[in-house]
A and B are shown apart, each in its own frame.
Chain A
């Protein structure tokens, strides 16, 4: 009689762990479904801004203009993205110092962000400093 009572008492004190596995698997499924292990990729750029009116004072600064259908450099040469890649590479921006590293990027019309981003990344990776040219009207 005494022994039986002792056994019952032991059973009551034990922590029930039978449902622990179910809880663990529910949590595991939740984490598997919600976790994103991918790391963010991109580039960091400290962009100085300038108005179109101020552009004239910097004659020697290369200016890339993005239009709806084409890309022009220094308002003359029209090229595609591959041509622009070759042009930027030819500038050897990584070997330049100070203000000579600056490349102005002006977008006109409805240029999609994809084209703008590719151009920014191109100049940035070539060792240049990107400057945004924006309309004075937009600033107001």
Chain B
């Protein structure tokens, strides 16, 4: 009777796997930026020659349905937006602190976005218009 040799399964060393996982977690924690505001669906407008910008503290958004948001909270109208933005920008004399990010869906019509832009300007904000960079 021929005795077959015992095949042992190869052992994968997993001792250092946790260390690698911890390193990856640290990387993701350092690099991630979570959504600070929740809004409806926004498809940003596209334009060439856009530069990378730092996100400011004040964020105004308009979604596809035309709903106006300030810091993720629904605004009742442009008058409310102007006073709320003015309140947030109060005692902020330097340009960097007065920056207001304006995120608007590309399909929204003039009647919606222009009063919102005017309200930000009237409140003393410096508009930081967000878009998607395209090749020329």
Q: Which residues of A contact B48 (CB under 8 A)?
A: 121
Task: Mark interface residues in B43-77 (1 if CB within 8 Å of A CB, else 0).
Answer: 00111111111110000001000000000000000
How many chain B residues touch A (CB < 8 A): the figure is 52
**B50 near A42 (CB under 8 angstroms)?**
yes
**B53 near A40 (CB under 8 angstroms)?**
yes
Q: Which residues of A contact B11 (CB under 8 A)?
A: none
A125 to B109, CA, bound (A): 23
- Of the A-B pairs whose beta carbons lie under 8 Å apart in the complex, a sample of 23, sorted by A's number, is A21-B18, A24-B25, A32-B28, A34-B34, A35-B28, A36-B32, A40-B52, A40-B55, A41-B133, A42-B129, A43-B128, A43-B129, A43-B131, A44-B128, A45-B128, A47-B117, A49-B121, A107-B110, A108-B110, A113-B104, A114-B46, A116-B114, A121-B129
Given A41-B51, A44-B99, A121-B47, 19 more A-B residue pairs with CB atoms under 8 Å apart are A21-B18, A28-B21, A31-B29, A40-B52, A40-B101, A40-B130, A41-B50, A41-B52, A42-B51, A42-B101, A44-B127, A44-B129, A48-B121, A112-B109, A113-B110, A116-B114, A117-B131, A118-B46, A121-B48
